[in-house]
Amino acid sequence: MASQVVLVASFLFLLLSFGAEAATITVRNNCPKTIWPATLTSGPGQPQLSTTGFELAPGASRSFNVPAPWTGRVWARTRCSNNGGRFTCLTGDCGRGLSCNGAGGVPPATLAEFTVAPNGGQDFYDVSLVDGFNIPASITTQGGTGPCRSSNCRNDVNRVCPGELQVRSGNEVIGCKSACFAFNQPRYCCTGEFNDPNKCRPTNYSMIFENQCPDAYSYAYDDKNSTFTCNNRPNYVITFCG
């Protein structure tokens, strides 16, 4: 009996410890149309979350827990449909249906990126346009200590997207590619000889993103004013179109 009590107590301790180490991410849809958020865990050895894709109607929100540590991203797919049993989206599609199960979204897609630290350490988070833009997004914190500032890209970059970067549905621009995705050249992708912050500099294309959303990553080495931190286990709210 004593050994059973010890086992139960140990199990409860583990549950409480896991709960204390978890962060809650709430995704809100302030867009006028339905979106289909998705998650991708990218940290070494970290399993995918139990939630890797879901539908979110206008005005709705959904919360899920991420462990600490956790490294991953959240994005919103748009213009999705289920034709003949095949679920596809015009932006951010992961190619695996409603649940992405370890697959990332096809650019362009606005990304909310996180590195959640264990033991109440320093979290890092950002809104990134390195994979291009589909809809506005912001990240705000709940609780935590330190700067804990909002990271956001609230302007509609699609309105100023140059023709060579546009993704269109009929006459409407529904996404804006990054120059890297559009042209696949090292100077835009910060690869090869340009894989160096001193060599990969802002371009006319990345400056379009920068001017519209100065708090978001506009290209791979855009570290200034683009990475945000918060300590002591904050929770997060991602708002699309807000």
Question: 20-67 pLDDT, tens per residue?
Answer: 479 999 999 999 999 999 999 999 999 999 999 999 999 999 999 999
Question: Can you tell me whether residue 5 is helix, strand or coil?
Answer: helix
Neighbours of 166 (CB within 10 A): 16
Q: Is the peptide bond before 58 cis (omega within 30 degrees of 0)?
A: no
Q: Measured between alpha carbons, how far is 181 from 20 in angstroms, rounded to an integer?
A: 40
SS3 assignment, position 89: strand
Cα distances (Å, whole numbers) of residue 13 to 9, 21, 158, 207? 6, 12, 49, 50
pLDDT reported for residue 17: 38
Where the chain has pLDDT below 50, the residues are 1-20
* pLDDT for the residue 54: 98
Fold category of 22-240 in CATH: Thaumatin (2.60.110)
Extract the runs of DSSP E, i.e. beta strands, from 84-227. 86-91, 111-116, 122-128, 137-142, 151-153, 166-169, 172-176
